[in-house]
Amino acid sequence: MPSSRFPIPQGTLDMLILQILSLEPAHGYGIAQRLEQISKSVVQVNQGSLYPALHRLEQRGWLKADWKESETGREAKFYSLTRSRAQAAPL
């Protein structure tokens, strides 16, 4: 599907994810929804690049993840900022 929105510049997705998670922990789907809201008119976030980005940030030690019960009652993987990242905020 063609889109008039810009493809997302390198590194922006990471920043957006960190920004979203600085408010509260969220699972991948929640982050995707937020991204959609934030970026609707500006940039096009490919949903497929969200999970690689999350895992990259987790690998780098910026995010940590726990399995917790989500709002639907099912277990979901919740991401949150690690302590060192939280102290570095606001971004």
Give the interface with other proteins as residue ranges (CB under 8 A).
27-29, 32, 46-49, 51-52, 55-56, 59, 67, 70, 72, 74-77
Task: Please return the burial class of 39, using the count of CB atoms within 10 Å of its CB with bins 0-12, 13-18 and 19+.
Answer: middle
Shorter beta-carbon distance to other proteins: residue 7 or 52: 52
- Give dist(CA 32, CA 27) in Å, integer: 9
Shortest distance in whole angstroms from residue 60 CB to other proteins = 9
The two tokens of residue 56 are 């990259």
Shorter beta-carbon distance to other proteins: residue 34 or 77: 77
